[in-house]
Amino acid sequence: MKSDINNKLAIYISTEILKQPNRTIDPQAALISSGLVDSFSLIDLALYVEDEFGVHIDDSELNASTFDSIDQLSDFIQTRS
Amino acid sequence: MQTFSHILKHYYESDPDRVCLYILQTNQPDVPFTYRELIQGAAGYAKTFEQEGILPGEVVILILQHGIDLVFAYFGAILHGSIPSIMPFLTEKLLPERYRADLASLISITRPAGIITYEDFEDVVNSALLPQDSVRKVMLSGEIDPPCDPDFETLLGMKRDPADIVLLQHSSGTTGLQKGVALSHQAVLNQLESYRAKLGLIEEKDVIVSWLPLYHDMGLIACFILPILQKIPLVLLSPFDWVRAPYRLLQAVSAYKGTLSWLPNFAYNFCALKIRERNLTDVDLSSWRAVINCSEPMYIDSHLSFFERFKGYGLKYDALATCYAMAENVFAVTQGGVDEPVMIDEIDRESMQLEKIARKPLVGKPSVKLMSAGKPLAGVKVKIVDSDGVAISDRTIGEIALKSNCMLTGYYNRPDATQKAFLDGWYLTGDYGYSFQDQIFVTGRKKDLIIVGGKNVYPQDIEQLAMEVAGVHPGRVVVFGVINEGLGTEDVVLIAEVHTDDAEEREQISEQIRQTVATGSAITLRQVVLVGKKWLIKTSSGKIARLANRKKFLDEFGINN
């Protein structure tokens, strides 16, 4: 389950946000605090998570303290769904 | 009413209970402030500045988050007669050591007497200070005098002269922070008067709604100073809230019957694409009479997608307006679409690019549709000049030059830069454009500046960062902007020459560059291209030629711009 979510998130981030489809992202790598996912893309990530996993992320939760890595986002999705 | 303080005094005495500002923050109730509350809050700060020995005419740097503290501190500095300058707050991704370096560079040129910030940020600020610095006092937001009745008899801001500098505006980044635009009371008040007339502002009817940062001229002048000094209620959202929830702007317009907003071009695309239906329940945009596109290249497609997305919510097409502005002219140079529809000019693409002529479309040839930025404001003269500074005829593309009653006094403590910016009394903007029937069309940029989401990015700052990465050939990096039509703004592209051909090693270098640039400048690179030795084109003087390399990149990587 988790690896499935991780995979989908990694593909979405590398393809749609970073526009580097061949890139592999470490599930523990910092996304937000490192600047890899910039603030303008946070909302895309939230919309994707909502459409794909049916989990709503409130805009006040779109920051590194709620989730910063794919692993953390994946846990967040599982707790909420 | 000759200075900011005189105007504030007048409102304090004549209309103290009028609400001038609503502060909106996520998960908190909206907070209204009357002129009395605003000026009393500011008076507390003014008192502290005086007690701490800050003198009128000295610069105070404000490092505070968007909120009422920043508003009080700003007007507090003005009531005290000192010169406020806002330094953007540290974002979570920017490395503290980079931030310190930027701050140190701002301090070395601006020579402020004081800095105001939060308790938990004091260490970062202190670590940027050197013993020989001008800064005598770092003041903390928790130690400011409480709001109090102002004594206009003794407030030192009342003794300022209209020709004195009232505020400084900086662009972000190392280069931007070294060039503070210094504006006098008179220049700002002249701009407000002309702009008010052009926009037809009415105290009883208009409401300005903004999410723009106050360290940017569009946010600071059009969406902060203008409404407060012209008695137009201001509804202020934080840029950090807006970027995560763009619908909040529309909800605020609906709730407060907002009539005017200013947006950089990308925000039209961003709102059109990223707002969900459920966030628009009961939203009514019919009060919006001017949504003004400004501070980066404007695209008609951005207007059209915005209109298509929100016309069902009462948005009027006529409300979509345009503007050409710059901090050096306080703000607006021209304004379009308010008293007449935005003029659209369809011209032949090739003539524009190669001959620098805005010619009517030719049959069977590609054309482009440009939106006029409108006509110059009263008190502002615009001319288009050739490379010798000589005025050229209508429909010929040249550099935009201007002369006005609201020009900067100078770049603060930078007489060299000030002198370079003018030619025979005309300010050379570094932007290309043409005029037609007094309308100004902006077509491009002479300077290397990149504008991303309305924010100025100086390529040399980014190049400098990338050169620190191991494996990158020093001096062999180039950065430029390429328009991204989907986003409605520019993408930042970086090309670097590297020694290695090894794919894995290149991948690591590329990643390192992205990381260094993101944490060193808060700019996200859209493309990093690594090339072999001697790929980059140099000028005869041995410098990397940005425009030539940009063209080579577009040709070689198959992206036709």
What residues of chain A lie within 8 A of the CB of B241, using their CB?
Answer: 59
Q: CA nearest B407: which of B385, B380, B433, B389?
A: B380
Query: Nearest 5 degrees, angle CA A25-CA B90-CA B470?
Result: 50
Looking at residue B75, what is its pLDDT? 98
| Residue B285 backbone zone (phi > 0: left; psi -120 to 50: alpha; other: beta) | alpha
| Residues B93, A40: C-beta atoms closer than 8 Å | no
Q: What is the rounded average pLDDT of the residues B84-113?
A: 89
Taking one residue from A and the other from B, the number of pairs with CB-CB distance under 8 angstroms is 50
Partner B contacted by A10 (CB < 8 A) = no
**The token pair that represents B272 in the structure block:** 């059109």
- Domain boundaries B4-179, CATH class: alpha beta
pLDDT tens per residue, range B501-542: 998 899 899 989 998 998 888 888 888 999 999 999 988 777
- Res A12: pLDDT: 96
Contact A35 B245 (CB under 8 A): no
Structure confidence by residue, pLDDT tens digits, B276-287: 999 999 999 999
- Give the number of domains in chain A: 1
> Are the beta carbons of B92 and A33 separated by less than 8 Å?
yes
For residue B62, give the H/E element and its range.
strand B59-62
Kindly report the three-state secondary structure assignment for every residue of B289-344. CEEEECCCCCCHHHHHHHHHHHHHHCCCHHHEEEEEECHHHCCEEEEECCCCCCCE
Query: For the segment B75-98, what is each residue's pLDDT rounded down to a tens digit?
Result: 999 999 999 999 988 877 778 888
CA distance B184 to B190: 10
Q: Do the Cβ atoms of B150 and B43 come closer than 8 Å?
A: yes
| Nearest-CB residue to B518 (from A34, A43, A64) | A34
Specify the CATH architecture of the domain B450-556.
Answer: 2-Layer Sandwich (3.30)
Query: For residue B57, how many C-alpha atoms fall within 13 Å in the half-sphere facing its CB?
Result: 6
The domain spans of chain B are 4-179, 450-556
Q: pLDDT tens, B296-350?
A: 999 999 999 999 999 999 999 999 999 999 999 999 999 999 989 999 999 999 9
Residue B514 contacts A, CB cutoff 8 Å: yes
Sign of the four-CA dihedral B404, B210, B441, B354: positive
| Mean pLDDT, rounded, for B424-430 | 95
Confidence of residue B1 (pLDDT cuts 50, 70, 90): low
Cβ contact, residue pair A47, B515, below 8 Å: no
pLDDT at B560 over 50: no
Distance, in Å, from the CA atom of B408 to the CA atom of B521, rounded to the nearest integer, reads 27
Contact between B92 and A42 using a beta-carbon 8 Å cutoff? no
With CA atoms as reference, the chain B residue closest to A33 would be B93
- Is residue B403's pLDDT more than 90? yes
Tell me, what's the pLDDT at B431? Answer: 95
Length of chain A, in residues:
81
| Whole-number average pLDDT of chain B | 94
What is the pLDDT averaged over residues B170-197? 92
- A38 CB within 8 Å of a chain B CB: yes
Count the neighbouring beta carbons within 10 Å of the beta carbon of residue B312. Answer: 11
* B463-488 pLDDT, tens digit each: 999 999 999 988 899 999 999 988 99
CA-based nearest distance A33→chain B, Å: 5
pLDDT given for residue B206 in this prediction = 98
Q: Determine the 3-state secondary structure of B10 from DSSP.
A: helix
Using the beta-carbon criterion (under 8 Å), do A64 and B274 form an inter-chain contact?
no
| Residuewise pLDDT in 10s, chain A (81 residues) | 788 999 999 999 999 988 888 888 999 999 888 778 888 899 999 999 999 999 999 998 998 889 999 999 999 999 998
* CATH classification of the domain holding A43: 1.10.1200.10
Amino acid at A1: M
pLDDT of B454 strictly over 90: no
**How big, in percent rounded to 5, are the helix, strand and coil portions of chain A?**
55, 0, 45
| A19 in B contact zone (CB under 8 Å) | yes
pLDDT of residue B456: 87
- Closest CA of chain B from A78, distance in Å: 22
Q: Is there a contact between B297 and B265 (Cβ–Cβ < 8 Å)?
A: yes
pLDDT at B381 over 80: yes
For residue A46, give both structure tokens. Answer: 């939230």
Residue-number span of the structural domain to which A57 is assigned:
2-80
- The average pLDDT across B198-222 equals 96
pLDDT at B455: 85
pLDDT band at B558 (very low <50, low <70, confident <90, very high): low
Residue B559 has a pLDDT of: 55
pLDDT recorded at residue B543:
83
In eight-state DSSP terms, residue B396 is B
Contacts of A33 in chain B (CB under 8 A): 92-93
Amino acid at B158: M
Q: What is the pLDDT of residue B518?
A: 87
